[in-house]
Structure 1
Amino acid sequence: MTGKVETFEPKCRFPLTAFDDIRLTSERDYLLKGLWPREGLAVAWGAPKCGKSFWATDAAMHVALGWEYRSRRVQQAPVVYVAGEGQHGFKKRIEAFRQQNMQLDYDPPPFFLLGEPVDLIGDHQTLIADIRAQVGDRLPGLVVLDTLNRTLRGSENDPEDMGRYVAAADAIRSAFACCVVVIHHCGTDGNRPRGHTSLTGAADAQFSVTKSPAGTVTVTSEFVKDGPEGETLSFTLRQVEVGIDDDGDDITSCVVEPTEPETIEPAIKRPTGNTGTMLTILEEAGPAGLTVEEWNEQARQAGIGAARQRLYEIRVTLKRKKLVYESQDGRWHVMSR
């Protein structure tokens, strides 16, 4: 006994890091580089049938397999996919991916499907426990909730319900130190995710998914925490046969086919006033077009005026805007658009 009183430093619940100990790390902080973080919440939203679930499935399969995705590095990890939109259709989607992209002697990837209804707010603790019990030694690096509407028992517009949903998704993220991707629909105006904005406010990354009339699906990065914004990737959906049903008919699904974004020509604003009238006169002439004299005469009859210089200036304006052109025989025509 020395008589010395020993003192113990109390353990702090919220330990602080001193300024000089805050250092940059080179540790990989992505699951799918430039798109999905290693740990966090991501949202992909779009109109019904726009291809957002196909994109999520395709990207998630690349994570499970550890394959490079559209020239982006991937950190291989187990995946849990909650298919609230329908297990039967999802199985066909997976079979299409298997047949089109994987070798016959493949090693089964750590990809797990949940096709049962989930009330994320009420069931998330049970879901976490069941995932731990079934996935094995490696915890999931990605959990996909497809869709928010099918995994929320409540109102998307209610801030309390959406707040509880975000908290449940965050509990899954915290339990597995993983990325949680929520697939969501757009609002009635089509310009933002449907419902209360608390989901967007909590997200680390958000992507809009659109489909053009020609069938090209474009995924646009609206924001990625500490990453680039505005980047796009595009694909089309190719229908494939995956089997034969009991009636002898083909069973089909679709696979993602990477493509370049469509080049959309900016809309040309139609001219108004006298310039618009001159264009209408030429349009009404049809494929035969008009000579300068015919065009000028009809313009005068329409009340534009008799000044040849003014009519010449209008004609030059229309030509500069690539709305009209002069053929080799001297006749003027409307540019096909």
Structure 2
Amino acid sequence: MKLSVFESLKQRFAQEDPSLGSVTPQQWEEAGYDIPTVEGKNDFTRMTAAVALHKQGLPCYYKWKGELRFSGVDFVKAYDPEDVAEDQRQIAEMDYWTKYPNRLKSAADMIKTPAIEWLVQDRVHKSGLFQLFGASYTGKTLLVLDLVMSWCAGLPEWQGYQLNNEGEPQDALYVAAEGGAALSVHVDAWLKHHPEVHQSDLSGLVFLDGGDGDSVFLSIDAKRRRDDEPDIQHADSWDRLFAEVLDKGLSPTLVVFDTQIDLAPGVDENSNTDMVGVLRKVKRLGDTYGFMAIVVHHTGHDGNKARGASGMMGKCDAQAKLSSIGEKSGKAKLEWIKVKGGPAPQDTISYEISGSAKLPDLDSEGAVCVPISKFSAAHAELAVKTPSEETQRLIMNALNGGQLSTRALSEAVGIDRNAKVFKDALEWMTASNHLSQTQKGRSTMVGLHPLAMAPTDPTIG
């Protein structure tokens, strides 16, 4: 049926009866048009489909708030982004009060332990806030991209962990502050590294590409730090962005903000008031709209904690740290710092950032995260901690006289027992079977080590 039929029908009935302001479903059917009923996961995806047809001049039936409606000529309100966002908030609020009509709980309610819904089994929750932080060049974006694409493609696992997507493709939004070609090549590499996934399987994954100059900022109550910092424009608001997601007919279960600091430029990273405010808003978005929000962040100077305010950890449902295994080795590991609802898992994910140089069959300029075995990871870490021969001599000579505690051994060799070089040396020498550890202290593993008693002064014969 040609699109012009809509206008011709409207004109025809208007000529017959100028007071007639719409064409009824019966009149459409009499004209030979079979009115479709649009499908969708929720009210907003169905409304989006109805709006799309209406813009083409075609009506449909669509379900809205449990009621079947007709989008005829009177269907003149083509929802703009602000309307969609406001309706979404209102429905979320109604759903909340329907589910929780009274917040007060009895003692019996308090002792009930609700089942936790997981996105990554026992690691990442279905909704809320997950902060992943790490040093530069540890592959933060690559690892998160691997999670998002595995989740959206309906793969059963991510880096060996179970994904609870029931094997079905999922919707997700990736806010890439830098984006551009640097991200595109990695998306390309991931698809080529996973031939079992077709590009159409990722139809629910969309990106806000910072490489195009697009951004999203969260409004917070903190004052701007400089007079020249602009106010958040509507084009850069969360409401505008999420309305665009809905307009695509998507209901994201995962939203990534890469990186965290790009969400609120101008705030003081070291201020608990500012940074907790930013994360509180991100977490509220995840809880309200039913998605897991992942924020990608950097480590501080010591490399052990997330950069900035100490209060950030308290707002996270899950938190994990990425660190390099060795210097410029391309290997890294992910350690879990916090998982709300239980103790932090003690296991780690270890992987190697691999491009076509290490994967000859990978015809791409990008790279992927390839899991490595615990043995390979441990071997790589030990290689980093290999002590100098001089340090080994000092330790072995000190132990030649008998078993020593860590404190006594430290004093004997003249190296602070809290110094990294001393700790690394003991770990490496123990793992390499040069030392043994007993309740009384450390001792040489077998007899006299070849380095023991070797002259440390080259002038001594």
- TM surpasses 0.5: yes
Instruction: Name the structure 1 match of 2:353.
Output: 237
2:159 to 70, 73, 90: 70
Q: Secondary structure at the match of 1:181?
A: strand
CA distance in 2, matches of 1:181, 1:43: 6
Instruction: Name the structure 1 match of 2:268.
Output: 155
Instruction: Name the structure 1 match of 2:330.
Output: 215
CA distance in 1, matches of 2:347, 2:122: 9
Offset of 1:130 from its aligned partner? 2.9
Q: Conserved in 2, the CA contact under 8 Å of 1:233 and 1:260? A: no
Offset of 1:187 from its aligned partner? 0.7
Q: Secondary structure at the match of 2:151?
A: helix
How has the CA–CA distance of structure 1 residues 318 and 325 changed in structure 2, closer, same or farther, with 3 Å as cutoff?
Answer: farther
Instruction: Name the structure 1 match of 2:179.
Output: 86
Q: Conserved in 2, the CA contact under 8 Å of 1:144 and 1:180? A: yes
How has the CA–CA distance of structure 1 residues 270 and 19 changed in structure 2, closer, same or farther, with 3 Å as cutoff?
Answer: same
Instruction: Name the structure 2 match of 1:132.
Output: 246
Instruction: Name the structure 1 match of 2:103.
Output: 15
Q: Name the structure, 1 or 2, with higher relative contact order (CA <8 Å, separation 6+).
A: 1
**One-letter identity of the residue aligned with 1:70:** Q
Q: Conserved in 2, the CA contact under 8 Å of 1:207 and 1:220? A: yes
1:180 paired to 2:293: yes
1:225 paired to 2:340: yes
Q: Conserved in 1, the CA contact under 8 Å of 2:254 and 2:292? A: yes
CA distance in 2, matches of 1:42, 1:256: 20
Moved more, 228-237 or 199-208: 228-237
Q: Secondary structure at the match of 1:144?
A: strand
Offset of 1:91 from its aligned partner? 1.0
Instruction: Name the structure 1 match of 2:207.
Output: 113
| Alignment TM-score, normalising by the size of structure 2 | 0.52
1:30 to 118, 121, 128: 118
Instruction: Name the structure 2 match of 1:275.
Output: 397
**One-letter identity of the residue aligned with 1:126:** R
Q: Secondary structure at the match of 1:44?
A: strand
Q: Conserved in 1, the CA contact under 8 Å of 2:123 and 2:318? A: yes
Q: Conserved in 2, the CA contact under 8 Å of 1:124 and 1:172? A: no
Equivalences, count = 272
How has the CA–CA distance of structure 1 residues 59 and 322 changed in structure 2, closer, same or farther, with 3 Å as cutoff?
Answer: farther
Offset of 1:21 from its aligned partner? 5.6
How has the CA–CA distance of structure 1 residues 273 and 33 changed in structure 2, closer, same or farther, with 3 Å as cutoff?
Answer: closer
CA distance in 2, matches of 1:16, 1:323: 70
Identity of aligned residues (%): 21
CA distance in 2, matches of 1:275, 1:74: 52
2:372 to 250, 259, 269: 259
Moved more, 139-148 or 17-26: 17-26
Higher-strand-fraction structure: 1
Q: Conserved in 2, the CA contact under 8 Å of 1:275 and 1:318? A: no
CA distance in 2, matches of 1:206, 1:174: 17
| Alignment TM-score, normalising by the size of structure 1 | 0.70
1:141 paired to 2:253: yes
1:201 paired to 2:314: yes
Instruction: Name the structure 1 match of 2:188.
Output: 95
- Segments of structure 2 that go 5 or more residues without pairing to the other structure are 1-97, 220-231, 358-362, 401-441, 456-461
How has the CA–CA distance of structure 1 residues 270 and 175 changed in structure 2, closer, same or farther, with 3 Å as cutoff?
Answer: same
Offset of 1:318 from its aligned partner? 8.2
Q: Conserved in 2, the CA contact under 8 Å of 1:142 and 1:178? A: yes
CA distance in 2, matches of 1:200, 1:146: 18
CA distance in 1, matches of 2:187, 2:175: 13
- Segments of structure 1 that go 5 or more residues without pairing to the other structure are 1-10, 242-249, 279-316
How has the CA–CA distance of structure 1 residues 143 and 13 changed in structure 2, closer, same or farther, with 3 Å as cutoff?
Answer: same
Q: Conserved in 1, the CA contact under 8 Å of 2:146 and 2:158? A: no
Query: C-alpha root-mean-square deviation of aligned residues, in Å?
Result: 3.4
